[in-house]
Chains A and B, each alone.
Chain A
């Protein structure tokens, strides 16, 4: 393998051009996913062999243009311009050449070694469209190969072309796109000036630089500005801008883009003959039902509900298997590893920690399979279209809706779905408000508290109220963050509504698997480390005094002849529970609980509630079991009547405290796993810190208000 020569190939193309399917067809399962350095845009890479060569294929993110508008465009352009791949395959949707060729002409501008894959050619044939490929190759100046990922045609020929271009068996077609005389004049002047800078020209093609300078490209401006040629370049640029403004009442950017579109329209007019459209297309018919004025919203709501149900109801089944497997593994390890610190670290720390990571996998896989399906069919863009008005009112984007709904299940996958938001401020805002959508793990806490402190008839209303309160805080926060922190910066809603298509099963499963792999690789390791740390903090240090005291008590009880067997056992288990409770108070977590007691006192919480909030940072499920431990009850769940009695018997636990506690649990820092995923997705410590402070700050303020205001009535 290693002695073979490697050809570096990049796949570039519009979103929805079938680029990912083509990538899967080219490299099969021989692919891996990573992240482009510094940004959370996925990087797909695969290897295939042909004609004695190793062909390494990079699937660049889908873009409409080679500007620096979104992270996807920046990555694509940077890779193409700076890494200079041996061959660039431009995947175009052959049923929509007008839009797809816009990118093609820009790829020609950067002088890429270009092969155009006229993808979805099977649809072209079935629509009875005729494309004069030879003529099109001549006009645009690039090799063109009809391909189809449905029947696999053209894939071999594509590989053949890659190798032939690399070995020089066939030549790259070069045909620069000519603009009008006025523009060409200035492009030439700029090229002449730029060519005097040898260093700049060895890295970049001067004509491309000239064109980009004329369209006001910020990055190219920055690039040229640091060079001595800038003085001359600047003179030409201000001249051209003045001239165009005076003579044509226009600017070079507008003229260039208009001419580019006009050139494409002309080329297509000459080479493509379309069969007259008689009946409505399938897409039009489906759209007239799915996004119709009357049925659009109900169908949208149904789809969202269905995704949620499938993810969290269906996901619960494998989650149970995973949980019981890890319980079994823990029990089994108990029998084979001798008692001691090592056993306790392995069983309660590592096995429980790994289990805590893997347990999210079914949710992530099902959710992303469902989302990949909606995305692949083309409904996802429509979903954003339908709900955008509501979301925009709160400064959000239509695409923010799905992450928010997912947040009701679990924040971890919800953060991962925000990747569909291209604008960073939209994305960070959405991520910051996701934890306010009350996740599934918080539910048992509400059931316990509401069920304990309020009568049956009220408990349901309170549960509903808590969820509603979360949504309210989320929407207000979004508006606040958008206006105060981001000053209204948001992505314009200029979005393609692609034709409906049936995605291939392969593509769906690859996408699902990639998400799962990303989660395990990126977040899993840190989550594991953190859970071990939290486990250590709640079990250490151990007080030998407490240990010795209870050992003595237990020994005394065992030798107490006045007690019968049953009474002895009862007393011993009581001692053990008390010991556990006192040990947790002595541990790091217990000490933090006491330390923060003054902070949570204004909310009406005693140190016990404080400790359960601290352990709740590990996972919200632990809040209830911590209460069990701390109130010396051993293993409990939210329906435990013993725990309810203990909670009620504490005089400081009143109804206002109960309400404030639920509000605090709803709003404060979500679990460690989701915080780590937040960090991984936001790729910023600053934002992760803000996330922690913001959620917990809001939680404190709201709990304080709820405690004091409800105290007046209850």
Chain B
């Protein structure tokens, strides 16, 4: 299974398979000494929302959250992932709806059932809510609703590579 490094839980062992992001981010990552195929172990003493501490070839380095989301890694284990953790452009598939009551009712009615494919379109200017595409239409959800939707990754969005074409796209 492939994940963004930022979505991997502490203590997991992963292999770097892809570096995305614009040239700036790529350079940044390379200057940290990251290479494809590197084996990485996430340190357990990660602060709640701070940078990730990572053992890379036995050396402890610290990578910012934004930057770490641009590192695609592979793991033999399955990590929990929610819709809220995806990035604009990502494509994923719903595996479970964890909410209850009215929200679950509404999500199921709108077609968010197991097996449906979702594209994360964008985050609102203030970061919440999130806009997704499923079954050919656009739906918006708050982040805390998106957190209750378990997904598995199908495709990573180009994630910033597009940014070179201009900020408005």
* A residues in contact (CB < 8 Å) with B: 64-65, 67, 69, 95-96, 98-99, 102, 253-254, 257-258, 261-262, 265, 283, 287-289, 291-297, 381, 385-386, 388-390, 392, 398, 492-499
Given known pairs A293-B123, A493-B140, the reply for A385 and B103 (CB within 8 Å) is no
Task: Please determine whether B111 and A261 come into contact, CB atoms closer than 8 angstroms.
Answer: yes
Chain B hits for A493, CB < 8 A: 129, 140-142, 145
| 30 A-B residue pairs with CB within 8 Å | A95-B136, A98-B135, A98-B136, A99-B111, A99-B135, A254-B97, A258-B114, A261-B111, A261-B116, A262-B113, A287-B122, A288-B169, A291-B122, A292-B168, A293-B123, A294-B167, A294-B168, A295-B168, A296-B124, A381-B140, A389-B124, A389-B129, A392-B128, A398-B129, A492-B103, A494-B106, A494-B141, A496-B138, A497-B131, A498-B137
* Closest chain A residue to B97, Cβ basis: A254
Given A288-B169, A494-B106, 6 further pairs, Cβ under 8 A:
A64-B110, A295-B168, A388-B142, A392-B142, A494-B107, A494-B141
Complex-state Cα separation, A287 to B105, whole angstroms: 28
Chain A min CB distance to B32 (Å)? 26
Mask of B99-133 contacts with A, CB within 8 angstroms, 1/0: 00011011111110111100001111111110100
Given contacts A386-B125, A389-B127, contact A492 B106 (CB under 8 A): yes
Measured between beta carbons, the chain B residues less than 8 angstroms from A65 are: 109
**B139 at interface (Cβ–Cβ under 8 A)?**
yes
Minimum C-beta distance from B119 to chain A (A): 11
CA distance A392 to B144 in the complex (A): 12
Contacting B140 at CB < 8 Å: which of A98, A102, A295, A385? A385
Q: How far is the CA of A194 from the CA of B158 in the complex (A)?
A: 55
Q: Find chain B residues with CB under 8 A from A497 CB.
A: 131, 138-140
Query: What's the least CB distance linking B155 to chain A, in Å?
Result: 15
CA distance A364 to B115 in the complex (A): 46
Complex contacts, B128 vs chain A, CB 8 Å: 388-389, 392
Q: Considering only CB atoms, which chain A residue lies closest to B107 in the complex?
A: A494
Task: Indicate which residue in A257, A288, A291, A398 contacts B109 across the interface (CB closer than 8 Å).
Answer: A257
CB pair B145–A390 under 8 Å, yes or no, is no
Docked complex Cα distance between A514 and B136 (Å): 33
Q: How many A-B residue pairs have CB under 8 A?
A: 119
Q: How far is the CB of A162 from chain B (nearest CB, A)?
A: 28
Q: Which residues of A contact B127 (CB under 8 A)?
A: 389
On chain A, the residues within 8 Å of B142 by CB distance are 388, 392, 492-493
**Also in contact, A102 and B109, with CB within 8 A (given A292-B168, A493-B145):** yes
Give the CA-CA distance A137 to B73 in the complex, in Å: 47
Complex: A499 Cα to B121 Cα, angstroms: 14
Residues of A within 8 A of B107 (CB): 494
How far is the CB of A124 from the nearest CB of chain B, in Å?
Answer: 12
Q: Are B137 and A385 in contact (CB under 8 A)?
A: no
Which residues of chain B have C-beta atoms less than 8 A from A258's C-beta? 108, 113-115
Closest 10 CB pairs of A and B: A98-B135, A296-B125, A497-B138, A389-B126, A65-B109, A257-B108, A493-B142, A492-B103, A258-B113, A389-B128
Contact: B139 with A496, CB < 8 Å? yes
Residues of chain B in range 78-96 having any CB-CB distance to chain A below 8 Å: none
User: Are B131 and A494 neighbours in the complex by a CB distance under 8 Å?
Assistant: no
With contacts A96-B137, A288-B168, A497-B138 taken as known, whether A67 is within 8 angstroms of B105 at the C-beta atoms is yes
For A398, the chain B residues whose CB sits under 8 A away are 129
Bound CA–CA A276/B125 (angstroms):
30
From B109, B135, B168, give the contact of A289 (CB < 8 A). B168
Provide the bound-state CA to CA distance between A296 and B102, in Å. 30
CB closest residue in chain A, given B101: A492
Evaluate contact between A293 and B103: CB separation under 8 angstroms: no
Q: Is the CB of B108 within 8 A of A254?
A: yes
Interface hub of A95, A291, A392, A492 (most chain B Cβ within 10 A): A492
Query: Pick the contact of A390 from B105, B114, B126, B139 — CB < 8 Å?
Result: B126
Q: Is the CB of B124 within 8 A of A291?
A: yes
- Return the contact of B136 from the options A96, A289, A390, A494 (Cβ within 8 A): A96
**Across the interface, which residues of B come within 8 angstroms of A96, CB to CB?**
135-137
Bits for B49-93, please: 1 = Cβ < 8 Å to A, else 0: 000000000000000000000000000000000000000000000
Q: CA separation between A262 and B114, bound complex, in Å?
A: 10
Is A388's CB under 8 angstroms from B106's CB? no
Pick from B110, B126, B141, B168 the residue with the most CB of A within 10 Å.
Answer: B126
What residues of chain B lie closer than 8 Å to A253, measured between beta carbons?
Answer: 108
Complex CA–CA separation, A98 to B128 (angstroms): 26
Question: Across the interface, which residues of B come within 8 angstroms of A389, CB to CB?
Answer: 124, 126-129
Pick from A102, A295, A494: contact of B103, CB under 8 Å: A494
- Find the A residue at minimum CB distance from B114: A258
A102 contacts across to B, CB distance below 8 A: 109, 111
Residues of A within 8 A of B121 (CB): 287
B:132-169 near A, CB below 8 Å: 135-142, 145, 167-169
Most central of A64, A96, A265, A495 by chain B CB within 10 Å = A495
Determine the chain A residues whose CB is within 8 A of the CB of B139 once the complex forms.
494-497
Q: With the chains together, A389 CA to B145 CA distance in Å?
A: 13
**Residue from the list A296, A297, A388, A498 in contact with B129, Cβ < 8 A:** A388
Q: Which residues of B contact A288 (CB under 8 A)?
A: 168-169
Please indicate the chain A residues that have their CB under 8 angstroms from the CB of B108 in the complex.
Answer: 253-254, 257-258
